Amino acid sequence: MNTRPRHIMVVAGEASGDQHGAEMVRALERLRPGNRYSGMGCDALAAAGMERIVDARDLAVVGLWEVLAHYRDIRRALDTLKARLRSDPPDLLVLVDYVEFNLRLARTAKALGIPVLFYVSPQVWAWRARRVRRIGEVIDAMAVLFPFETDFYERHGIPVRYVGNPLVDTVRPGAPPEVIRRDLGLDPDGPVVGLLPGSRRGELRRHLPVMMQTCRWLRRRHPGVQFVLPLAPGVNVERDVTPHLDPDLGILQVTGRTHDVLAASRALIIASGTATLEAALMGTPMAILYRVSPLTYAVLKRMLLIRDIGLANIVAGERVVQEFVQSRARPEAIGAEVERLITDPDYHQQVCRGLARVRVRLGRGGASENVARMALELMEHGRLLPSGNASSTIDGA
């Protein structure tokens, strides 16, 4: 078996994908150390040892208008990575989410004969599925984070494996809730509401103002309520956060302690995205909100095939927590839901029972090592092995 060091290019376009990619890199190094990594990402992939050809922090945008506004930067990043694929071809290209950008890069890799592994499936099952054929043309294998996704790709003839969800392994508080509250200087007798507006600049701009209005609504009715805002590492606080905050609310800002805030909170106001799944795994009730530009919403509404957009609800298979999207994201509506969560013990417990089903449905963990094994299989064999033989890629090393 060829055990020479391999060159793996990893491309992630936002904070969550950056973290997933970094965990995969560390797992690869545990299984077969000494590889070389290059690509696009944020701080986590760089810390894991990847040569950062492109810094993804300024490319994490959502919505048609936002993509158009950043088109030159996105185009430049894509051209840079395509040039590197040609000048320094890797043994494997691992694409983490960031679907439209990454599928364009995959097409170039495929033309160059470079194997492509897509990690974190684009949610084609939620949209009109015409893109699935295009995906099958340019990738060699798909690693999915939700069990129900495997049937979808198998029906379309795309090699796929459920690797588990990395959040099952990583979502845990650093201490019991009462210890976290004391450590953060919070009043143990006042309810805590966590605010998670998203990490992208556009999300912060759209969500923080409505969150501030909601917080003022809640504070008028419950003077003792406390608000905590966990910030993702790499967020430009002075530019993207501070201008949108209400200084009279005394919002506590913490960096790098999202899971602790989830554990310490009685309820959350949270933007749709990966964070809703983290909150579900932590068992913390929430009100989900999301806003995009009117143009983006008008287009996406016609394409969406599913009723709920929050991952917590999608995985649960039912609406466990309430969603407030676009025009429904009104302060008084969100506030009323959060008020019920912090004042009605029976309702709070009902939501917690629903969230417990999310962890059950996600099942096993081990995603980072499982996707690392897929990467090794593709580099050694050019394809995925039958499930029973997959471990031989490592055992024979």
Confidence class for position 380, pLDDT limits 50, 70, 90: very high
pLDDT at 388 over 50: no
Whole-prediction pTM: 0.75
- Residue whose C-alpha is closest to residue 190's, from 284, 259, 264: 264
Chain segment 271-292, per-residue pLDDT in tens: 998 899 999 999 999 999 998 7
Residue 90 DSSP SS3? coil
| 218 or 71, greater pLDDT | 218
Confidence class for position 216, pLDDT limits 50, 70, 90: very high
pLDDT at 62 over 80: no
Range in 74-88, 97-111, 225-239, 288-302 the model is least confident about = 288-302
pLDDT at 126 over 60: no
pLDDT at 124 over 80: no
Based on the number of CB atoms within 10 Å of its own CB, is 252 exposed (0-12), middle (13-18) or buried (19 or more)?
Answer: middle
Phi, psi of 333 (to 5 degrees): -75, -45
Range in 116-120, 250-254, 296-300 the model is least confident about = 296-300
List 286's β-bridge partners, or say none. Answer: 268
Confidence class for position 309, pLDDT limits 50, 70, 90: confident
CA angle (302 as vertex; 299, 304 as ends), nearest 5: 105
Chain segment 314-344, per-residue pLDDT in tens: 888 899 999 999 889 999 999 999 999 999 9
**For the residues of 330-386, what is the DSSP string, one character each?**
-HHHHHHHHHHHHH-HHHHHHHHHHHHHHHHHH----HHHHHHHHHHHHHHHSSPPP
Q: What confidence score (pLDDT) does residue 297 get?
A: 65
Confidence class for position 262, pLDDT limits 50, 70, 90: very high
Q: What average pLDDT does range 369-387 have in this prediction?
A: 92
Q: What confidence score (pLDDT) does residue 65 get?
A: 46
Residues 6+ apart with CB under 8 A from 283: 352, 355, 356
Q: What average pLDDT does range 205-232 have in this prediction?
A: 96
Q: What confidence score (pLDDT) does residue 394 get?
A: 42
Q: What average pLDDT is seen over the chain?
A: 89
| d(C-alpha 362, C-alpha 306), whole Å | 19
Q: What average pLDDT does range 144-161 have in this prediction?
A: 90
Q: What confidence score (pLDDT) does residue 68 get?
A: 55
Q: What confidence score (pLDDT) does residue 395 get?
A: 40
Range in 105-109, 137-141, 151-155 the model is least confident about = 151-155
In the chain, where does DSSP find H-type helix? 15-31, 43-47, 64-69, 71-87, 99-111, 131-138, 149-155, 166-170, 177-183, 201-221, 237-240, 258-264, 274-282, 294-303, 311-316, 331-343, 345-362, 367-381, 392-395
Residues 6+ apart with CB under 8 A from 39: 9, 10, 11, 12, 21, 45, 50, 51, 52, 53, 54, 81, 94
Q: What confidence score (pLDDT) does residue 300 get?
A: 63
pLDDT at 248 over 50: yes
Tokens of 181: 């509250």
pLDDT at 23 over 50: yes
Based on the number of CB atoms within 10 Å of its own CB, is 209 exposed (0-12), middle (13-18) or buried (19 or more)?
Answer: middle
| d(C-alpha 112, C-alpha 100), whole Å | 19
Confidence class for position 143, pLDDT limits 50, 70, 90: very high
Confidence class for position 304, pLDDT limits 50, 70, 90: low
